[in-house]
Amino acid sequence: MYSIFIANTKVEKRLNEYILFRQDIKEKLDRLKLEPRRANGAHLLHGKLDGKWSCWLGSNIRLIYIIDDVEQRIIIQAIGSHKLY
């Protein structure tokens, strides 16, 4: 199972706000830990975000992250609407 790390305090604050608003996000993050390339509609991004991954956490909530297979980590870099990318 992968562990989740958050890139910076701004992203951490925003993620915590979403979790307070929607309790199901915790469950979706747990699924992501098990299958970071498949859970929650995960897909590889291209263009300026090439090599990063995105998944769906709610109605208009997207998560952008990097998968570190060596360390078994998911590094969350951004959270928000599709306007992130």
CA–CA separation, 41 vs 43, rounded Å? 6
Entry pTM: 0.92
- Tell me if residue 29 falls in helix, strand or coil: helix
The CATH-assigned architecture of domain 3-84 is 2-Layer Sandwich (3.30)
C-beta neighbour count of 5 within 10 angstroms = 14
- Cα distance between residue 43 and residue 52, in whole Å: 9
Distance CA 42, CA 54 (A): 5
DSSP state, 79? E
Residue 84 — pLDDT band, cuts 50, 70, 90?
A: low
User: Which pLDDT tens digit goes with each residue over 14-43?
Assistant: 999 999 999 899 999 999 999 999 999 999
Q: What is the residue type of 28? A: K
The answer to whether the Cα torsion of 63, 64, 66, 67 is positive or negative is positive
